[in-house]
Amino acid sequence: MNMLATDADTVRFCEGAQLLPVHGVRGGRPFDVQDWVAEEVPVALEYNGISHAVMLATPLDLEDFALGFSLSEGILDAAHELYSVEAEQSALGFTVHMQVSGAAFTRLKQRRRSMAGRTGCGLCGTESLTQVSRELPVLQDDATVRFGREAIGRAMSQLPSQQTLQEATGAVHAAAWCSDDGEVMWLREDVGRHNALDKLVGALAANDVDASVGFIAVTSRASFEMVQKAAMAGAPLLAAVSAPTSFAVATAQRAGLTLVGFAREQDLGVYSHPQRLRTAQQHSVR
């Protein structure tokens, strides 16, 4: 949890946050201070001049966000299909203008047609349900890629010290790609857990990182969307500090992904494809 600033003049600038006045009571004593509050703004994603989605996100690493979202959602097959990306700020938020290949734009238009059956009540109709449970790449089980319980614990223990925005605000999630021995190599933060993971996926793709030789750690629960994004990135294991959902477990089983929940210090629970953990024979539980 963030600590309330007691002297705004001594507080360093925090990118992705605003210093705002806060009044309240703590420990029975009133306070009147300046505190860092995480930014959350509308971010519109536009492809070849056509608006596709508006997300509420932290306005950091927007190029990574645009690329990662496009890959995770299957709009792009590879990073090279994104020709250019430019974020434009206005009084209403940010618009991220992307120029993509003709093949990617065709896929996007086909997807928009398939989503036409959605209504205001949420995901309604057969077409929408099919879109939710879209086909995922099946991750192959490479016998040379195995992860130890200690590596996952090491990664989770490193996350807090690298979450600068979380330390300042107490309001954001992180997604990190870690080496097979648990070293945090890449990390992205956002007020939305899905956005943080999209930003991470984009950063990995932009820097030609082979996600299959490491694993992804997240500071949230593991929803089916988090599993989908990890599988689309090619990561063989997703470790979450909190619980998975039943849909997440089913999706991980289908995609061949090892799903770990309640990963805290040296404790963890394995919910799918335990063969990638060297401690699988111990039947680890939370």
- pLDDT for res 278: 85
pLDDT tens digits along 114-137: 655 443 333 333 345 556 667 888
Let me know if residue 2 belongs to a domain.
no
Q: Domain boundary at 106, 132, 158, which? A: 132
* Domain identity same for 73 and 163: no
pLDDT tens digits along 172-226: 999 999 999 999 999 999 999 999 999 999 999 999 999 999 999 999 999 999 9
* Domain identity same for 169 and 208: yes
Below-70 pLDDT ranges, the chain: 1-12, 113-133, 279-286
Q: Residue 280 in contact with residue 274, Cβ under 8 Å?
A: yes
* Domain identity same for 170 and 257: yes
* Domain identity same for 107 and 230: no
* Domain identity same for 24 and 65: no
pTM, full prediction: 0.89
Report the Cα 283 to chain-centroid distance in Å: 28
- pLDDT for res 144: 79
Which residue is associated with the tokens 């991220």?
96
- pLDDT for res 266: 87
Let me know if residue 65 belongs to a domain.
yes
Let me know if residue 277 belongs to a domain.
yes
- pLDDT for res 132: 66
- pLDDT for res 131: 62
Q: Residue 159 in contact with residue 274, Cβ under 8 Å?
A: no
CATH assignment at residue 111: 3.10.20.10
Q: Domain boundary at 100, 132, 164, which? A: 132
- Specify the number of domains making up the chain: 3
Q: Domain boundary at 65, 99, 132, which? A: 132
* Domain identity same for 103 and 75: yes
Query: What is the enclosing helix (H) or strand (E) of 264?
Result: strand 258-264
Let me know if residue 223 belongs to a domain.
yes
Cα separation, 237 vs 212, whole angstroms: 9
* Domain identity same for 178 and 266: yes
Let me know if residue 15 belongs to a domain.
yes
- pLDDT for res 233: 97
CATH assignment at residue 275: 3.40.140.10
Let me know if residue 138 belongs to a domain.
no
* Domain identity same for 277 and 162: yes
Backbone angles phi, psi at 108, to 5 degrees: -65, -45
- pLDDT for res 133: 67
List the beta strands (DSSP E) in the chain.
17-26, 29-38, 41-47, 50-57, 82-90, 93-100, 173-178, 184-190, 215-218, 237-240, 258-264, 267-272
Let me know if residue 137 belongs to a domain.
no
Annotation says 178 is catalytic: no
Host domain of residue 17: 8-38
Let me know if residue 139 belongs to a domain.
no
* Domain identity same for 155 and 267: yes
- pLDDT for res 237: 98
* Domain identity same for 85 and 197: no
* Domain identity same for 191 and 246: yes
Q: Residue 224 in contact with residue 196, Cβ under 8 Å?
A: no
- pLDDT for res 90: 97
* Domain identity same for 54 and 24: no
